[in-house]
Amino acid sequence: MKAPKPKVLITGGAGFIGSHVADAYLVEGYEVTVLDNLSSGRREHVPSGARFVQADIGSPDSRALLETGGFVVLNHHAAQMDVRVSVENPTFDAQANILGLLNLLEGARRGGVRRVVFASSGGVVYGEGERLPHAETAPKLPVSPYGVSKLASEYYLAAYAQLYGLESVSLRYSNVYGPRQNPHGEAGVVAIFGNRLRHGKSLTVYGNGEQTRDYVYVGDVARANLAATRWRVPAVGVLDDAAFNIGTGVETSVNHLARLMIEAAGGLGRVDHGPARAGELMRSALATAKAERELSWQPKTALADGLRLTYQWLKEAAA
Ligand SMILES: NC(=O)c1ccc[n+]([C@@H]2O[C@H](COP(=O)([O-])OP(=O)(O)OC[C@H]3O[C@@H](n4cnc5c(N)ncnc54)[C@H](O)[C@@H]3O)[C@@H](O)[C@H]2O)c1
Protein backbone atom coordinates (compact mmCIF):
# COMPACT_ATOMS: atom_id res chain seq x y z
CA MET A 1 0.00 0.00 0.00
CA LYS A 2 1.26 3.46 -0.86
CA ALA A 3 1.96 5.89 2.00
CA PRO A 4 -0.52 8.81 2.01
CA LYS A 5 0.84 12.05 0.58
CA PRO A 6 1.71 14.78 3.09
CA LYS A 7 -0.85 17.59 2.99
CA VAL A 8 -0.02 21.28 2.61
CA LEU A 9 -2.40 24.23 2.80
CA ILE A 10 -1.19 27.20 0.74
CA THR A 11 -2.87 30.51 1.47
CA GLY A 12 -2.69 33.01 -1.39
CA GLY A 13 -2.12 30.12 -3.79
CA ALA A 14 -4.20 31.81 -6.51
CA GLY A 15 -1.78 34.73 -6.47
CA PHE A 16 1.52 35.32 -8.17
CA ILE A 17 4.08 33.70 -5.85
CA GLY A 18 1.67 31.31 -4.10
CA SER A 19 0.62 29.66 -7.37
CA HIS A 20 4.26 28.88 -8.25
CA VAL A 21 4.75 27.56 -4.73
CA ALA A 22 1.69 25.33 -5.25
CA ASP A 23 3.21 23.98 -8.48
CA ALA A 24 6.45 23.19 -6.63
CA TYR A 25 4.72 21.28 -3.78
CA LEU A 26 2.76 19.21 -6.31
CA VAL A 27 5.97 18.21 -8.08
CA GLU A 28 7.43 17.33 -4.67
CA GLY A 29 4.57 14.87 -4.10
CA TYR A 30 2.35 16.84 -1.69
CA GLU A 31 -1.42 16.86 -1.66
CA VAL A 32 -2.07 20.57 -2.15
CA THR A 33 -5.02 22.66 -1.01
CA VAL A 34 -5.13 26.35 -1.95
CA LEU A 35 -7.02 28.82 0.24
CA ASP A 36 -7.62 32.22 -1.36
CA ASN A 37 -10.35 34.88 -1.36
CA LEU A 38 -9.48 35.90 -4.94
CA SER A 39 -9.15 39.56 -3.92
CA SER A 40 -6.14 39.88 -6.21
CA GLY A 41 -5.51 36.25 -7.18
CA ARG A 42 -7.07 34.43 -10.12
CA ARG A 43 -8.78 31.06 -10.09
CA GLU A 44 -6.94 30.02 -13.28
CA HIS A 45 -3.57 30.41 -11.53
CA VAL A 46 -4.39 27.56 -9.14
CA PRO A 47 -2.77 24.41 -10.57
CA SER A 48 -5.23 21.79 -11.79
CA GLY A 49 -3.78 19.19 -9.41
CA ALA A 50 -4.68 21.27 -6.34
CA ARG A 51 -7.95 21.50 -4.43
CA PHE A 52 -9.27 25.07 -4.24
CA VAL A 53 -11.15 26.62 -1.30
CA GLN A 54 -12.40 30.17 -1.72
CA ALA A 55 -12.42 31.86 1.69
CA ASP A 56 -10.88 34.72 3.60
CA ILE A 57 -7.99 33.81 5.90
CA GLY A 58 -9.82 35.63 8.71
CA SER A 59 -12.99 33.53 8.39
CA PRO A 60 -14.23 30.76 10.70
CA ASP A 61 -14.22 28.44 7.66
CA SER A 62 -10.47 28.92 7.18
CA ARG A 63 -9.76 28.20 10.81
CA ALA A 64 -11.96 25.10 10.70
CA LEU A 65 -10.21 23.90 7.55
CA LEU A 66 -6.86 23.96 9.37
CA GLU A 67 -8.35 22.36 12.48
CA THR A 68 -9.78 19.40 10.66
CA GLY A 69 -7.88 19.11 7.37
CA GLY A 70 -4.95 16.96 8.50
CA PHE A 71 -2.33 19.36 7.09
CA VAL A 72 1.30 18.92 8.08
CA VAL A 73 2.40 22.22 6.53
CA LEU A 74 0.77 25.64 6.37
CA ASN A 75 2.42 27.78 3.69
CA HIS A 76 1.18 31.32 4.21
CA HIS A 77 1.29 33.70 1.25
CA ALA A 78 -2.09 35.49 1.46
CA ALA A 79 -1.68 39.11 2.48
CA GLN A 80 -2.62 42.71 2.05
CA MET A 81 0.65 43.63 0.39
CA ASP A 82 0.33 47.20 -0.81
CA VAL A 83 2.57 49.56 1.21
CA ARG A 84 0.49 52.60 0.27
CA VAL A 85 -2.79 50.91 1.28
CA SER A 86 -1.18 50.05 4.63
CA VAL A 87 -0.27 53.72 5.19
CA GLU A 88 -3.74 54.96 4.24
CA ASN A 89 -5.59 52.25 6.12
CA PRO A 90 -3.38 50.56 8.73
CA THR A 91 -6.32 48.86 10.44
CA PHE A 92 -7.29 47.14 7.19
CA ASP A 93 -3.69 46.00 6.80
CA ALA A 94 -3.58 44.64 10.35
CA GLN A 95 -6.98 42.96 9.92
CA ALA A 96 -5.70 40.91 6.99
CA ASN A 97 -2.05 40.45 7.89
CA ILE A 98 -2.10 40.14 11.67
CA LEU A 99 -5.61 39.01 12.65
CA GLY A 100 -5.75 36.81 9.56
CA LEU A 101 -2.49 35.13 10.55
CA LEU A 102 -3.69 34.59 14.13
CA ASN A 103 -6.93 33.03 12.91
CA LEU A 104 -4.90 30.57 10.81
CA LEU A 105 -2.45 29.82 13.63
CA GLU A 106 -5.26 29.04 16.06
CA GLY A 107 -6.62 26.52 13.57
CA ALA A 108 -3.14 25.18 12.82
CA ARG A 109 -2.16 24.46 16.40
CA ARG A 110 -5.44 22.71 17.13
CA GLY A 111 -5.24 20.76 13.89
CA GLY A 112 -1.77 19.37 14.56
CA VAL A 113 0.01 21.29 11.78
CA ARG A 114 3.73 20.80 12.28
CA ARG A 115 5.27 23.64 10.32
CA VAL A 116 4.45 27.11 8.98
CA VAL A 117 6.37 28.61 6.08
CA PHE A 118 5.70 32.34 6.00
CA ALA A 119 6.19 34.88 3.19
CA SER A 120 7.85 37.84 4.88
CA SER A 121 9.53 40.76 3.17
CA GLY A 122 13.20 41.74 3.29
CA GLY A 123 12.32 44.92 1.42
CA VAL A 124 10.35 46.36 4.33
CA VAL A 125 11.49 44.91 7.68
CA TYR A 126 15.03 46.33 7.76
CA GLY A 127 15.94 49.89 8.62
CA GLU A 128 17.24 52.21 5.93
CA GLY A 129 20.80 53.45 6.00
CA GLU A 130 22.33 50.14 7.04
CA ARG A 131 25.14 48.62 5.00
CA LEU A 132 23.96 46.67 1.95
CA PRO A 133 23.25 43.92 1.30
CA HIS A 134 21.27 43.39 4.52
CA ALA A 135 21.99 40.21 6.47
CA GLU A 136 19.13 38.65 8.48
CA THR A 137 20.60 40.15 11.63
CA ALA A 138 20.49 43.75 10.32
CA PRO A 139 18.51 46.13 12.58
CA LYS A 140 14.77 46.04 12.00
CA LEU A 141 12.90 49.31 11.60
CA PRO A 142 9.91 49.06 9.27
CA VAL A 143 8.66 52.45 8.10
CA SER A 144 5.21 51.27 6.92
CA PRO A 145 2.36 49.49 8.70
CA TYR A 146 2.82 46.72 6.08
CA GLY A 147 6.43 46.28 7.23
CA VAL A 148 5.30 46.24 10.84
CA SER A 149 2.68 43.59 10.06
CA LYS A 150 5.33 41.35 8.44
CA LEU A 151 7.72 41.72 11.37
CA ALA A 152 4.91 41.30 13.90
CA SER A 153 3.89 38.11 12.09
CA GLU A 154 7.41 36.74 12.51
CA TYR A 155 7.20 37.47 16.25
CA TYR A 156 3.81 35.75 16.53
CA LEU A 157 5.26 32.72 14.76
CA ALA A 158 8.18 32.65 17.21
CA ALA A 159 5.72 32.82 20.11
CA TYR A 160 3.64 29.93 18.71
CA ALA A 161 6.84 27.91 18.30
CA GLN A 162 7.60 28.40 21.98
CA LEU A 163 4.04 27.99 23.24
CA TYR A 164 2.93 25.04 21.14
CA GLY A 165 6.00 23.66 19.36
CA LEU A 166 4.58 24.83 16.01
CA GLU A 167 7.75 25.13 13.89
CA SER A 168 8.05 28.11 11.59
CA VAL A 169 10.34 29.50 8.93
CA SER A 170 10.08 33.06 7.62
CA LEU A 171 11.32 33.78 4.12
CA ARG A 172 12.17 37.45 3.71
CA TYR A 173 11.79 37.99 -0.02
CA SER A 174 13.40 40.75 -2.01
CA ASN A 175 11.52 41.97 -5.10
CA VAL A 176 10.03 38.88 -6.70
CA TYR A 177 9.24 38.97 -10.43
CA GLY A 178 8.13 36.47 -13.06
CA PRO A 179 5.14 35.01 -14.93
CA ARG A 180 1.66 35.61 -13.37
CA GLN A 181 2.79 38.70 -11.51
CA ASN A 182 0.42 41.64 -11.35
CA PRO A 183 1.56 45.27 -11.40
CA HIS A 184 0.68 45.86 -7.74
CA GLY A 185 3.35 43.84 -5.90
CA GLU A 186 6.76 44.87 -4.62
CA ALA A 187 8.37 44.12 -7.98
CA GLY A 188 5.34 45.42 -9.86
CA VAL A 189 7.62 47.58 -11.99
CA VAL A 190 8.58 44.51 -14.07
CA ALA A 191 4.93 43.85 -14.97
CA ILE A 192 4.29 47.56 -15.57
CA PHE A 193 7.32 47.90 -17.87
CA GLY A 194 6.45 44.68 -19.69
CA ASN A 195 2.86 45.70 -20.32
CA ARG A 196 3.85 49.14 -21.56
CA LEU A 197 6.40 47.67 -23.99
CA ARG A 198 3.80 45.24 -25.26
CA HIS A 199 1.58 48.20 -26.16
CA GLY A 200 4.46 50.13 -27.75
CA LYS A 201 4.43 52.71 -24.94
CA SER A 202 7.44 54.38 -23.33
CA LEU A 203 8.72 53.36 -19.88
CA THR A 204 8.56 56.03 -17.19
CA VAL A 205 11.50 56.18 -14.79
CA TYR A 206 10.91 58.38 -11.72
CA GLY A 207 13.76 60.52 -10.39
CA ASN A 208 17.26 59.82 -11.71
CA GLY A 209 16.58 56.09 -12.04
CA GLU A 210 19.53 55.12 -9.89
CA GLN A 211 17.26 53.71 -7.12
CA THR A 212 18.16 50.02 -6.72
CA ARG A 213 16.26 46.84 -5.90
CA ASP A 214 17.18 43.18 -5.63
CA TYR A 215 15.12 41.22 -8.19
CA VAL A 216 14.67 37.48 -7.62
CA TYR A 217 12.90 35.13 -10.04
CA VAL A 218 9.70 33.49 -8.81
CA GLY A 219 10.85 29.96 -9.77
CA ASP A 220 13.85 30.40 -7.47
CA VAL A 221 11.51 31.60 -4.71
CA ALA A 222 9.30 28.51 -5.12
CA ARG A 223 12.40 26.29 -4.66
CA ALA A 224 13.25 28.22 -1.48
CA ASN A 225 9.81 27.32 -0.09
CA LEU A 226 10.49 23.61 -0.55
CA ALA A 227 13.92 23.97 1.05
CA ALA A 228 12.33 25.80 4.00
CA THR A 229 9.78 22.98 4.32
CA ARG A 230 12.58 20.42 4.61
CA TRP A 231 14.87 22.49 6.84
CA ARG A 232 15.64 21.22 10.33
CA VAL A 233 14.27 24.09 12.44
CA PRO A 234 16.42 24.90 15.49
CA ALA A 235 14.98 25.88 18.87
CA VAL A 236 14.18 29.60 18.62
CA GLY A 237 16.88 31.69 20.26
CA VAL A 238 16.45 35.03 18.55
CA LEU A 239 13.90 35.95 15.91
CA ASP A 240 16.38 35.87 13.03
CA ASP A 241 17.27 32.21 13.70
CA ALA A 242 14.15 31.09 11.84
CA ALA A 243 14.38 33.68 9.03
CA PHE A 244 16.08 33.61 5.64
CA ASN A 245 16.64 36.33 3.11
CA ILE A 246 15.58 35.16 -0.32
CA GLY A 247 17.04 37.42 -2.98
CA THR A 248 20.20 37.67 -5.05
CA GLY A 249 22.37 40.19 -3.18
CA VAL A 250 22.62 42.15 -6.43
CA GLU A 251 21.45 45.77 -6.65
CA THR A 252 19.84 46.63 -9.98
CA SER A 253 18.99 50.23 -10.80
CA VAL A 254 15.67 51.14 -12.44
CA ASN A 255 17.66 52.49 -15.41
CA HIS A 256 19.38 49.13 -15.86
CA LEU A 257 16.14 47.22 -15.37
CA ALA A 258 14.49 49.36 -18.07
CA ARG A 259 17.35 48.56 -20.50
CA LEU A 260 17.15 44.82 -19.77
CA MET A 261 13.36 44.82 -20.13
CA ILE A 262 13.60 46.56 -23.50
CA GLU A 263 16.10 43.90 -24.61
CA ALA A 264 13.79 41.15 -23.33
CA ALA A 265 11.01 42.65 -25.44
CA GLY A 266 13.09 42.56 -28.61
CA GLY A 267 15.14 45.76 -28.32
CA LEU A 268 12.56 48.43 -29.17
CA GLY A 269 11.47 50.85 -26.46
CA ARG A 270 11.88 54.36 -25.10
CA VAL A 271 12.43 55.67 -21.58
CA ASP A 272 10.82 58.89 -20.23
CA HIS A 273 11.75 60.52 -16.96
CA GLY A 274 9.24 61.67 -14.36
CA PRO A 275 9.63 63.52 -11.06
CA ALA A 276 11.15 61.64 -8.10
CA ARG A 277 8.52 60.04 -5.85
CA ALA A 278 8.42 61.23 -2.26
CA GLY A 279 9.39 58.65 0.35
CA GLU A 280 10.76 56.11 -2.11
CA LEU A 281 13.42 53.78 -0.71
CA MET A 282 16.69 54.56 -2.51
CA ARG A 283 18.54 51.25 -2.27
CA SER A 284 17.77 47.68 -1.35
CA ALA A 285 19.53 44.29 -1.53
CA LEU A 286 19.54 41.15 0.61
CA ALA A 287 22.50 38.96 1.53
CA THR A 288 21.69 35.30 0.93
CA ALA A 289 24.70 33.57 2.49
CA LYS A 290 22.57 32.09 5.27
CA ALA A 291 20.10 30.51 2.82
CA GLU A 292 23.02 29.14 0.79
CA ARG A 293 24.61 27.67 3.88
CA GLU A 294 21.59 26.28 5.74
CA LEU A 295 18.98 25.68 3.04
CA SER A 296 21.46 24.78 0.27
CA TRP A 297 19.51 27.31 -1.78
CA GLN A 298 20.78 29.89 -4.19
CA PRO A 299 19.15 31.90 -6.95
CA LYS A 300 19.77 30.30 -10.36
CA THR A 301 17.96 32.53 -12.83
CA ALA A 302 19.91 35.46 -14.30
CA LEU A 303 17.87 38.65 -14.45
CA ALA A 304 18.04 38.91 -18.27
CA ASP A 305 16.72 35.31 -18.59
CA GLY A 306 13.96 35.83 -16.01
CA LEU A 307 12.83 39.02 -17.71
CA ARG A 308 12.65 37.20 -21.06
CA LEU A 309 10.48 34.48 -19.51
CA THR A 310 8.28 37.11 -17.90
CA TYR A 311 7.83 39.11 -21.10
CA GLN A 312 7.06 35.91 -23.01
CA TRP A 313 4.35 35.07 -20.48
CA LEU A 314 2.87 38.59 -20.60
CA LYS A 315 2.55 38.25 -24.38
CA GLU A 316 1.03 34.77 -24.19
CA ALA A 317 -1.36 35.71 -21.38
CA ALA A 318 -2.66 38.65 -23.42
CA ALA A 319 -3.10 36.54 -26.57
N1 LIG B 1 5.83 40.17 -4.80
C2 LIG B 1 6.89 40.48 -4.07
O3 LIG B 1 7.89 40.98 -4.58
C4 LIG B 1 6.90 40.18 -2.58
C5 LIG B 1 7.99 40.59 -1.82
C6 LIG B 1 8.01 40.32 -0.46
C7 LIG B 1 6.97 39.61 0.13
N8 LIG B 1 5.91 39.24 -0.63
C9 LIG B 1 4.81 38.51 0.04
O10 LIG B 1 4.52 37.33 -0.70
C11 LIG B 1 3.12 37.03 -0.58
C12 LIG B 1 2.49 36.82 -1.95
O13 LIG B 1 2.65 38.00 -2.73
P14 LIG B 1 2.29 38.07 -4.28
O15 LIG B 1 3.22 39.03 -4.90
O16 LIG B 1 2.17 36.70 -4.82
O17 LIG B 1 0.87 38.78 -4.21
P18 LIG B 1 -0.54 38.38 -4.86
O19 LIG B 1 -1.46 39.53 -4.63
O20 LIG B 1 -0.37 37.90 -6.27
O21 LIG B 1 -0.96 37.15 -3.96
C22 LIG B 1 -1.63 37.27 -2.75
C23 LIG B 1 -2.80 36.30 -2.78
O24 LIG B 1 -3.44 36.33 -1.51
C25 LIG B 1 -4.86 36.42 -1.70
N26 LIG B 1 -5.39 37.10 -0.52
C27 LIG B 1 -5.16 38.39 -0.14
N28 LIG B 1 -5.80 38.65 1.01
C29 LIG B 1 -6.45 37.51 1.37
C30 LIG B 1 -7.28 37.16 2.46
N31 LIG B 1 -7.59 38.06 3.42
N32 LIG B 1 -7.78 35.90 2.51
C33 LIG B 1 -7.48 34.98 1.53
N34 LIG B 1 -6.69 35.27 0.48
C35 LIG B 1 -6.18 36.52 0.39
C36 LIG B 1 -5.03 37.18 -2.99
O37 LIG B 1 -6.28 36.94 -3.64
C38 LIG B 1 -3.85 36.66 -3.82
O39 LIG B 1 -4.20 35.51 -4.55
C40 LIG B 1 2.51 38.17 0.24
O41 LIG B 1 2.43 37.76 1.58
C42 LIG B 1 3.52 39.29 0.10
O43 LIG B 1 3.50 40.16 1.20
C44 LIG B 1 5.85 39.49 -1.97
For residue 115, pLDDT over 80 is answered with yes
Pair 268, 220 in one domain: no
| CA atoms of 102 and 91, how far apart (whole Å) | 15
Residues with CB under 6 A from ligand 1: 11-12, 14-18, 36-41, 56-58, 77-81, 96, 100, 119, 121, 123, 173, 175-176, 182, 185-187
Query: Where among 205, 226, 246 does a domain terminate?
Result: 246
HSE-up (13 A, CA, CB side) for residue 19: 20
- From start to end of 181-282, where are the E strands? 203-206, 212-213, 215-217, 243-246, 252-253, 271-274
HSE-up (13 A, CA, CB side) for residue 283: 11
For residue 21, pLDDT over 90 is answered with yes
- Please give the pLDDT value at position 279: 77
Pair 196, 289 in one domain: yes
Pair 168, 131 in one domain: yes
Is residue 192 situated within a structural domain? yes
For residue 258, pLDDT over 70 is answered with yes
CB atoms within 10 A of CB 89: 14
Pocket test for ligand 1, best of 77, 151, 284 (most atoms within 8 A of CB): 77
pLDDT in tens, 187-217: 689 999 999 999 999 999 999 999 999 999 9
Pair 123, 161 in one domain: yes
Query: Which helix H or strand E contains 258, and what residues bound it?
Result: helix 254-264
Confidence class of residue 185 from pLDDT cuts 50, 70 and 90?
low
| Angle between helix 254-264 and helix 303-318 axes, rounded to 10 deg | 60
Compute the distance from residue 267 Cα to the ligand 1 centre, in Å.
32
Output b/e per residue, 95-132; b: 16+ Cβ within 10 A. ebbbebbebbbebbbebebebbbbbbbbbbbbeeeeeb
Confidence class of residue 182 from pLDDT cuts 50, 70 and 90?
confident
| CA atoms of 7 and 1, how far apart (whole Å) | 18
- Tell me the residue range of the domain where 201 lies: 178-214+249-318
- Please give the pLDDT value at position 24: 98
Q: Once rounded to an integer, what is the mean pLDDT over residues 37-49? A: 97
pTM above 0.95, yes or no: yes
- Please give the pLDDT value at position 197: 96
Ligand 1 atom closest to 41 (CA): 39
Confidence class of residue 295 from pLDDT cuts 50, 70 and 90?
very high
Nearest to 295 by CA among 223, 200, 217, 189: 223
Nearest Cα residue to atom 35 of ligand 1: 78
Pair 200, 145 in one domain: no
Compute the distance from residue 36 Cα to the ligand 1 centre, in Å.
10
Is residue 1 situated within a structural domain? no
| CA atoms of 288 and 281, how far apart (whole Å) | 20
Pair 170, 184 in one domain: no
For residue 130, pLDDT over 90 is answered with no
Pair 20, 94 in one domain: yes
Q: How far is CA 54 from CA 34, 35, 37, 45, in A?
A: 8, 6, 5, 13
Compute the distance from residue 15 Cα to the ligand 1 centre, in Å.
6
Is residue 288 situated within a structural domain? yes
Q: What is the CATH number of the domain that holds 267?
A: 3.90.25.10
Q: Once rounded to an integer, what is the mean pLDDT over residues 157-167? A: 97
- In percent, the amount of the chain with pLDDT more than 70 equals 99
Compute the distance from residue 253 Cα to the ligand 1 centre, in Å.
24
Confidence class of residue 149 from pLDDT cuts 50, 70 and 90?
very high
Q: Once rounded to an integer, what is the mean pLDDT over residues 149-176? A: 97
DSSP state of 301: -
Ligand 1 atom closest to 150 (CA): 43
Compute the distance from residue 269 Cα to the ligand 1 centre, in Å.
30
- Please give the pLDDT value at position 187: 66
CB of 67 closer than 8 Å to CB of 43? no
Pair 163, 271 in one domain: no
Pair 210, 220 in one domain: no
Ligand 1 atom closest to 100 (CA): 31
pLDDT in tens, 24-42: 999 999 999 999 999 999 9
Nearest Cα residue to atom 43 of ligand 1: 81
Compute the distance from residue 21 Cα to the ligand 1 centre, in Å.
12
Ligand 1 atom closest to 17 (CA): 16
Instruction: Name residue 83's amino acid.
Output: V
Q: What is the CATH number of the domain that holds 146?
A: 3.40.50.720
Query: Where among 197, 227, 246 does a domain terminate?
Result: 246
Nearest Cα residue to atom 32 of ligand 1: 56
302: phi then psi, degrees, rounded to nearest 5? -65, 145
Beta strands 212-213 and 252-253, pairing class? antiparallel
Three-class SS of residue 158? helix
Is residue 2 situated within a structural domain? no
Pair 182, 171 in one domain: no
Mean pLDDT value across the chain: 95
Three-class SS of residue 223? helix
Query: Where among 246, 262, 292 does a domain terminate?
Result: 246
Pair 238, 182 in one domain: no
Nearest Cα residue to atom 7 of ligand 1: 121
The radius of gyration computed from the CA coordinates of the chain, to the nearest angstrom, equals 19
278: phi then psi, degrees, rounded to nearest 5? -60, 140
Pair 125, 165 in one domain: yes
- Please give the pLDDT value at position 259: 98
- The total number of structural domains in the chain stands at 2
Pocket test for ligand 1, best of 40, 97, 244 (most atoms within 8 A of CB): 40
Is residue 225 situated within a structural domain? yes
- Please give the pLDDT value at position 271: 96
- In percent, the amount of the chain with pLDDT more than 90 equals 91
- Please give the pLDDT value at position 210: 95
Q: Which residues are catalytic?
A: 146
The answer for residues whose C-beta is within 8 angstroms of residue 252's C-beta and 6 or more apart is 212, 213, 214, 215, 260, 303
Ligand 1 atom closest to 36 (CA): 34
